[in-house]
Structure 1
Amino acid sequence: MSYLTYLLIGHVAMLLHYLFFAYVVFGGFLSWRWPRMFWPHLLVAAYALGIVIIGWPCFLTDIENWSRLNTGREIMENGFIDHHITGVFYPPEHLMTSRYVIAGIVASAYAGLAWKLYRRRSAAVGAVSE
């Protein structure tokens, strides 16, 4: 493979990383429109939590590091978030704060879905009893 092919693969992996990260943070809100999207998002959020808390491997990080090695660049020692997100979107000393904010965003998306489903069921029960 050529240098540009390796570089393209690495850039695509980085782009997919950003999309994955955005989906983890904001994807729960899709379930407000499409409630069945809750389960895929829950699985993705659980996987992301496992990456952060347990240290599960991320195949996108492996692909990006493979690309970096084949293009003569340094690999990402601590993964995508430490390399591309921390220090860019928030200062490094606010890593835990950012994790709490992200958890709050995901929890609020799920709470909003629960409220919406509760209201829908309440309206349906009220319509039946009339």
Structure 2
Amino acid sequence: MTACCKNAYLVFGALLVARHRRLLFVHLAAVAWGAGIELLGAVCPLTPLEVWLRMQAGGAGYSGGFIDHYLLPLIYPGALTRTVQLVLAAGALAINAALYFRVYRRRTMGPTR
């Protein structure tokens, strides 16, 4: 699964949970992991593994985190600041809270017309 798909799953996975309830705990774990990494300002533990594997294969490694290296140049012109990290985490949590509220409301009140 590509990084883009993982990040999309983190942010919008609640929509999948609405159809496939068995994904609930997998998605909640992904949200907790992603938001935790952003809120703590940590580097995902998989990033050093990726860099090491790239170097073992003869490629070049990189410094910083996955988001810093791959996504930030596409999304933001400047470097990732602590404020941007907090906004990203808050956005992911807010979107998921809204989606889960909608799923919960539909389940308890039935579909609206």
Q: Would you call these one fold, judging by a TM-score over 0.5?
A: yes
Is 1:118 the equivalent of 2:105? yes
What is the correspondence of 1:42-53 to structure 2 with a 5 Å cutoff? 42-53=28-39
Change (3 A) 1:113 1:16: same
List runs of 5+ in structure 2 lacking aligned partners. none
Corresponding residue for 1:58?
A: 45
Q: Which has the higher helix share?
A: 1
Give ranges in structure 1 of 5+ residues lacking alignment. 1-14, 124-130
Q: Which residue of 1 aligns with 2:71?
A: 85
* Closer/same/farther in 2, CA of residues 98 and 50 from structure 1, 3 Å limit: closer
- What is the identity, as a one-letter code, of the residue corresponding to 1:38? L
Q: Deviations over 1:86-119 (max 9, x none)?
A: 0212322675457525633542333233233223
Q: Give the structure 2 partner of residue 5 of structure 1.
A: none
Structure index of larger Rg: 1
TM-score (norm 2): 0.68
Number of paired residues? 107
Between the aligned partners of 1:101 and 1:49, the Cα distance in structure 2 is 8
| Contact 1:28 1:109 (8 Å CA) reproduced | yes
Aligned to 2:54: 68
Let me know the Cα RMSD of the aligned residues.
2.8
Amino acid aligned to 1:92:
G
Cα 1:91/1:28, change in 2 over 3 Å: farther
Alignment TM-score, normalising by the size of structure 1:
0.62
